[in-house]
A and B are shown apart, each in its own frame.
Chain A
Amino acid sequence: KNQVEQSPQSLIILEGKNCTLQCNYTVSPFSNLRWYKQDTGRGPVSLTIMTFSENTKSNGRYTATLDADTKQSSLHITASQLSDSASYICVVSGRGSYIPTFGRGTSLIVHP
């Protein structure tokens, strides 16, 4: 069964600090991995999309990495801001499948 595991489940950091969120998956064959940000009460918003051949993708202060060999990805947030408080969701799609596998998300709280 395809699975996407995210860690930590929750994280509290101080404003201005960096943090890294982890995503491990078992989806095979692999097509792409996406990171989404979901604010409370809102729908997810796409941050990055990476395919098999990409190992790094940046979007402003967000940098995602992918190691397709070990089936691991990370999302690094630099110089965190209060507005970064949200749930971050890792989603993996298999080649030839329309049904993506979502992780449960990491809840990030940034304190002033």
Chain B
Amino acid sequence: NAGVTQTPKFRVLKTGQSMTLLCAQDMNHEYMYWYRQDPGMGLRLIHYSVGEGTTAKGEVPDGYNVSRLKKQNFLLGLESAAPSQTSVYFCASSYLQGNQPQHFGDGTRLSIL
């Protein structure tokens, strides 16, 4: 049982390049989330999804797009990467939104030069 898998684990981009981060979960969870974690700050929610085909903005959505075409996958896209998007990105999933634990992947470390 893999849980939540994120690919790639590391990536270096140049300013203006685009890329997609992939998150896959095998727990049949309805809810999926993308967070970023920056030094000295708590995790911040970028976008989330409450089910297949749905997405919604979180706390810091600017510069990112997401898609959830399949229940098990949640994609995070950077159309034109900026140095301010250098961060560690975490994907999480949960069965429901309420009092359920979120299961996190091990992160994607992204550097924008």
Query: Which A residues are within 8 Å of any B CB, using their own CB?
Result: 4, 31-32, 34, 41-46, 49, 51, 89, 98-105
Query: Which B residues are within 8 Å of any A CB, using their own CB?
Result: 4, 40-45, 48, 50, 56, 58-59, 90, 92, 97-107
Query: If the complex has contacts A46-B102, A49-B101, are A99 and B58 also in contact, measured as CB distance less than 8 A?
Result: yes
Interface SS of B by simple majority: loop
Q: Are B98 and A32 in contact (CB under 8 A)?
A: yes
A103 to B48, CA, bound (A): 19
A67 to B103, CA, bound (A): 26
Instruction: Give, as a whole number of angstroms, the nearest-CB distance from A65 to chain B.
Output: 17
Q: Are B45 and A100 in contact (CB under 8 A)?
A: yes
Residues of A within 8 A of B105 (CB): 43
Q: Are A43 and B106 in contact (CB under 8 A)?
A: yes
Q: Are A104 and B101 in contact (CB under 8 A)?
A: no
